[in-house]
């Protein structure tokens, strides 16, 4: 009976584990839906912001703003996005693996998330700041982080700012991405600029404000007030702040998706293990009963 007793204990232990992983799966699924909606909701705005930058690309001197100036890269700042907690599969491992490809002598890090901060401290890489965010961060919460990185770039402490994070593709796919944020490169925008129709309508003179608005919508052109340079000075820092915020939302969506999938896999594995242990228990119990019956039959035959 000792064997069956051990099996019963294992079954009980695995059932308790399955209950925990099932509860974590449901919590992660609830957070996942909210995080995915937030990440997807911000992408159209980000694309519209890129489109406005593209419309300025050929109309201003790209060396006129410090956020556009390309400098020789001697020092790079990497904004590392990871989760605070584990149990999310290989999400953090895949991101942290890419750090090995970076030159530690010319790279400094700013970490968001405990997993990334602990990894940098454990591997002896230079981390100049680390931050913690809630599960549902806001733009006001991420702006001090992006402002810190912006000041490091403007002061000349670093010549380039990158962000390393798990990009949310879908619920099952999260891909680590190392993306340059500063200096801002308009040519690398995610939005493909549409060919302007303005050259085809140079002879047309709008006669009313409504016609001007209609022409703007049709040609994809923008009116900049008060001047293009003033708009550029305002939109470039804001574009950087919002880009960091959008990437944080992507990381949160990727984290909750990976955790939900990992907990579902753990629950399914626990259920399969319970089935195997139950079958093993039944076999052991049947063998014990058979042994007892044989012993009783043998004893009865001996008495006869």
Active site residue 149: no
User: Is 179 in the same domain as 289?
Assistant: no
Query: Do 126 and 113 share a domain, yes or no?
Result: yes
| Tens-place pLDDT, residues 220-253 | 556 767 777 777 788 889 999 999 999 999 999 9
Whether residues 222 and 81 fall in one domain: yes
Tell me the residue range of the domain where 11 lies: 2-20+262-303
Q: What is the pLDDT of residue 46?
A: 85
Burial (CB < 10 A; 0-12, 13-18, 19+), residue 268, is: middle
Backbone angles phi, psi at 111, to 5 degrees: -105, 135
Q: Which of 79, 81, 88, 248 is catalytic?
A: 88
Task: Decide if 204 is inside a domain.
Answer: no
Q: Are 67 and 121 in the same domain?
A: yes
Give CA–CA dist 254/36, Å, rounded. Answer: 8
Q: How far is CA 270 from CA 57, 192, 207, 223, 246, in A?
A: 56, 47, 72, 61, 36
Determine the length of the chain.
304
Q: How many Å apart are CA 95 and CA 248, to the nearest integer?
A: 14
Six-digit token pair at 38? Answer: 């937030």
> Which pLDDT value is given to residue 209?
47
Domain assignment of residue 203, yes or no = no
pLDDT at position 54: 76
Peptide bond into 226 cis (omega under 30): yes
| 158 and 77 in a common domain | yes
Coil, helix or strand at residue 175: strand
* 15 inside domain: yes
How far does Cα 300 stand from its chain's mean position?
A: 72
Report d(CA 168, CA 246) in Å as an integer. 11
- Which residue ranges of the chain lie beneath pLDDT 70? 1-2, 57-58, 61-62, 186-222, 224, 304
Cα–Cα distances (Å) from 189 to 27, 49, 65, 265, in that order, read 36, 10, 17, 37
CATH of the domain at 292: 1.10.287
Domain contains 60: yes
Same domain, residue pair 151 and 217: yes
Same domain, 163 and 295: no
- State how far the Cα of 54 lies from the Cα of 58, in Å rounded to an integer: 8
The pLDDT value given to residue 148: 94
179 is a domain residue:
yes
CATH assignment at residue 61: 3.40.1380.10
Which of 104, 103, 108 lies closest to 148 in space, CA to CA?
Answer: 108
Enumerate residues 6+ apart whose C-beta is below 8 A from 98: 164, 176, 178
In a domain, 202, yes or no: no
User: 43 and 57 share a domain?
Assistant: yes
Residue 247 belongs to a domain: yes
Q: In what order do the strands lie in the sheet with 127-131?
A: 127-131, 107-112, 76-81, 160-168, 174-182
**Distance set, CA 248 to CA 26, 81, 85, 111, 131 (Å):** 22, 7, 15, 12, 12
Same domain, yes or no, for 115 and 215? Answer: yes
Domain count, the chain: 2
* Predicted confidence (pLDDT) per residue in 107-138, tens digit: 999 999 999 999 999 999 999 999 999 888 99
pLDDT for the residue 55: 75
45 and 74 inside one domain: yes
Structure confidence at residue 186 (pLDDT): 67
pLDDT at residue 187, rounded to an integer: 64
Residue 253 and residue 119 share a domain: yes
pLDDT value, residue 222 = 62
Residue 198 lies in a domain: no
Do 90 and 31 sit in the same domain of this protein?
yes
What pLDDT was estimated at residue 262?
A: 93
Tell me the pTM.
0.78
Q: Tell me the pairing of strands 107-112 and 76-81.
A: parallel
Please report the pLDDT score of residue 144 as a whole number. 94
């Amino acid at each position: 009976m000792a064997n069956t007793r051990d099996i019963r204990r294992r079954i009980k232990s695995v059932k308790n584990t399955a209950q925990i992983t099932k509860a974590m799966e449901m919590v992660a699924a609830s957070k996942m839906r909210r995080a995915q909606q937030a990440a997807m909701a911000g992408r159209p705005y980000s694309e519209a912001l890129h489109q406005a930058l593209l419309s300025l690309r050929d109309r201003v001197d790209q060396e006129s703003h410090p956020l556009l100036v390309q400098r020789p890269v001697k020092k790079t700042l990497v904004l590392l996005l990871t989760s605070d907690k584990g149990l999310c599969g290989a999400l953090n491992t895949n991101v942290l693996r890419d750090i090995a490809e970076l030159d530690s002598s010319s790279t400094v890090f700013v970490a968001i998330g405990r997993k990334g901060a602990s990894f940098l401290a454990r591997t002896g890489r230079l981390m100049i700041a680390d931050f913690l965010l809630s599960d549902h961060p806001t733009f006001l919460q991420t702006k001090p982080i992006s402002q810190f990185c912006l000041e490091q770039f403007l002061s000349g402490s670093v010549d380039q700012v990158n962000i390393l994070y798990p990009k949310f593709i879908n619920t099952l796919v999260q891909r680590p991405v190392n993306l340059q944020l500063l200096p801002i490169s308009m040519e690398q925008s995610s939005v493909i600029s549409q060919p302007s129709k303005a050259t085809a309508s140079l002879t047309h003179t709008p006669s009313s404000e409504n016609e001007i608005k209609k022409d703007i919508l049709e040609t994809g052109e923008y009116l900049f007030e008060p001047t293009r340079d003033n708009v550029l000075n305002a939109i470039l820092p804001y574009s950087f702040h919002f880009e960091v915020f959008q990437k944080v939302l992507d990381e949160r969506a990727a984290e909750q998706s990976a955790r939900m999938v990992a907990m579902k896999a753990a629950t399914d594995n626990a259920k399969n293990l319970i089935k195997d242990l139950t079958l093993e228990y039944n076999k052991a119990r049947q063998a014990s009963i058979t042994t007892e019956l044989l012993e009783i039959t043998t004893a009865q035959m001996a008495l006869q």
